Structure 1
Amino acid sequence: MSALTIIVAVSVVMMTLALLASLALLLKTREDTTRAVLADKVFYTMIAIFVTWTIITPTSISYEIPLLAGLLGILTTVSFSRVLSKGRR
């Protein structure tokens, strides 16, 4: 195993732990604003895990998925703002 493989594996494990902690807090909390922020965090953490994983795993769609997620990520931000404004425009 190379040093890069070890570093990527440790990074993926740390991000997975952060993702699980966010999911636990998402299920525990009752505030809508906290849930909206945590949903954004979970989405972007999953994308970060995928991008980190593609460093050591050659795939043909390595960067298309994060690009698409970045373009569609605006939907989560808009939904977050709708939650904060309670649906008002």
Structure 2
Amino acid sequence: NCPETDLNIPTLDGKLAEEMTNNKNIIKIVQRGRRGHPVRSKPSSKSRSSSVTNASIYTQPFQSEAQSTINLEKVHSRFEAMKLNLHKHSNQEHTS
């Protein structure tokens, strides 16, 4: 089994998983994984008043009431299936 990943962990830029893609299928998978779990709020600009606070934004996880997880193996499998389907469809158009 592939370990699940906490969806509330931001990137170094402070973005959440669904903010990193335009792929609607991936966004839906992330949203389904988060269903029933609150999305944590991002720190306000007022809390970023010092360089110490700025550094801590990226080294300490945001507080969330409950973890939201997603199985990345399932996401990868879904991606590979979509890619294979697209490849097959593309080959069919070229042979027609």
Report the TM range for the smaller structure's normalisation: 0.3 to 0.5
Structure with greater contact order relative to length (CA < 8 Å, sep ≥ 6): 2
How high is the TM-score relative to the length of structure 1? 0.35
Which structure: larger Rg?
Answer: 2
| Larger proportion of strand | 2
